[in-house]
Amino acid sequence: MTPPSPRLHRLKDTTLLTALIVFRTINACLVKTYFSPDEHWQALEVAHWITFGYGYLTWEWTVALRSVLHPALFAGLYKALAVLGIDDGWLFIYAPRLLQSLFAAIADFYAYQFADRLFENQLIANWTLFLSVTSWWNFFCSTRTLANSTEAALTIVALYYWPFSSVPPSSPSSPASSPSPSSPSEPAHSGKSSCQGHRTISLGIAFLTCVFRPTAAIMWIFMGVVLLIQYCMDSDRGSILTTLISVFIMSGSTILGTAILDSTLLYNEWVLTPINFLRVNVLQGISLFYGSSPWHWYLSQGLPLLFGIYLPFVLSGAWHALKSDTALNARMKHQVLYLSLWMLVVYSSLQHKEWRFLYPILYPLLPFAGHTFYNMFLPIYQDGTKSKSKMAITVVLLGVVIVNAVMAWYATMVHQRGVIDVMEWIRQEARVGQIRSAGFLMPCHSTPWLSSTHRRGAEPLNMWFVTCEPPLGNVDHATYKDESDIFYEDPVTFMDERVTKMAQENLTKDSHLIMFQDLLRSWPKMPQWMNNHGYREVKRTRENTMEF
């Protein structure tokens, strides 16, 4: 059983949340790199199209595969900026990420609250907050406009309110109304009516996560089944009935609400995007078109990257929690760990894998790492030797901060920065009339797009890129070639055919071509083709992205 923590000063929740918002706002401004196309093409481009009537809608939106709810968050922000007359410049580019920083701060805050509920120990909660704030992955990913980042934030909020036992959590509150951190045995939560209210909050947020990411249902089906089994074992027929009624009402309301939103803002017809998502990605296997990985990929790469140096501490804390059936909140801890294992097994069985897919289990598992750090320093806490305590803790804190800071710096300031810088350069050049049109000769979706070149009151730039549409409908996947395949088979022939077609349509050639330097190295004929058609290098970014 976790020993009682010493009396500590606990910051007011409002003070802590404000500090976290400030921190994540700074975090959002420091992210200068490109991670996943989805943060632009599945969020900002769609939001820009909804607000301004132009943007690029990828194939997922033409077949109604996704709900518009997530892009609608940023569309509302874009609309507000446009109404205020400030939809231009630096603010317009960073505004969506600043909005996302609010979700990131909420995720940090509820990871802290969740740890406090799980272990009822102030020091473990403090360690969890420290680990969340210093996590290189959170710094790299939490403020990006990915549906996964929003899903992860909503997940930890929903888990905090989830009725793991017959006694639910109270809302985060100030120290005046919170139990003393030195008294973990005191009941922190009570009230049958409160149980219904918090279960409703949790279920409502859970359904929202499934709208943002239909695969979130993998988590919440597990949690729902376990909850009903728990009620059955407790012979709590009232809770079974009210839970089923709540699920029925919320699922119906969510489906109806998102269908109305989708048909109003984008699709102009009634659609059920979760059904389309399941049919296209799972039953038709279209997701495999974008790559597959071996079953062990999440074990060998996903988890080590997601948790970084925290992984051994998470595993140690998980092991200690699983070994004990008598520890405080043991059943709750076991359920969190079994949930994470369930997620890992299910996602590992799917062939298409990405690091960000496991993001929702990061926050729930951080408290176990926090417990490990707490146990490491427990003898020091009990010793009372201040100099020894300060030195040991300082060394560990510095080590954790330095390792994560280096990783965060490289991931957010260096790696894949060129494709962000080139779009900023294009926007600035277009502002003074130096760019008429541009073609992107690189793998599809390698850069942000029209939402990043937006200029108030100006026409959208004429830009095109090499596409990679998947084989939809009755198409033979084995023989199908997308435009990207055709381009990389022979870039010179591809460009010759494009120039010929433009001449036939009386269109002028592109004023600029953007490419990675590797294209020129891999195809010796490309530099000559550029010279023959009057292109010359005018800009080179950090990662050797070139413009002609």
**Read out DSSP for 414-478?**
TTT-HHHHHHHHHHHHHHTT--SEEEEESSTT-S--GGGS--TT-PPPEEEE-------SS--TT
Sheet with 512-516, edge to edge strand ranges: 462-465, 437-441, 512-516, 545-547, 539-540
| Per-residue tokens: 19 | 């500090």
Beta carbons within 10 angstroms of residue 513's beta carbon: 20
Residue ranges of the chain whose pLDDT lies below 50 = 5, 166-168, 174-194
Structure tokens at 286: 């279209």
Q: Measured in whole angstroms, how far is the alpha carbon of residue 48 from the centre of its chain?
A: 19
pLDDT in tens, 6-20: 556 688 999 999 999
| Closest C-alpha to 287, from 477, 129, 521 | 477
pLDDT tens-digit readout, 13-59: 999 999 999 999 999 999 999 999 999 999 999 999 999 999 899 99
d(CA 398, CA 376): 16
CA gap 374, 366 in Å, rounded: 12
- 437-441 and 512-516 as β-strands: parallel, antiparallel, unpaired? parallel
Determine how β-strand 539-540 pairs with β-strand 512-516: unpaired
The pLDDT, as a whole number, for residue 197 is 60
Count Cβ atoms below 10 Å from residue 456 Cβ, excluding itself.
Answer: 12
- The pLDDT score that the predictor gives to residue 289 is 72
Structure-token pair, residue 40: 């632009």
Say what the pLDDT of residue 183 is: 37
Quick check: 205 and 250 in contact, CB under 8 A? Answer: no
Phi and psi at residue 247, to the nearest 5°: -60, -45
Q: State whether residue 513 is helix, strand or coil.
A: strand
Buried b (16+ CB within 10 A) or exposed e, 209-236: bbbbbbbbbbbbebbbebbbebbeeeee
Three-state secondary structure along 330-349? HHHHHHHHHHHHHHHHHHHH
CA 514 from chain center: how many Å?
28
Residues β-bridged to residue 513:
439
Q: List CB contacts of 157: < 8 A, sequence separation 6 or more.
A: 106, 107, 110, 205
Coil, helix or strand at residue 77: helix
Give, for 517, the enclosing helix (H) or strand (E). Answer: helix 517-522
Enumerate the β-bridge partners of residue 465: 440
Long-range contact set of residues 485-490: C-beta below 8 Å, sequence gap at least 24: 487/441
The rounded distance, in Å, linking the Cα atoms of 530 and 249 is 61
To 10 degrees, the CA torsion angle through 263, 266, 268, 272?
-40
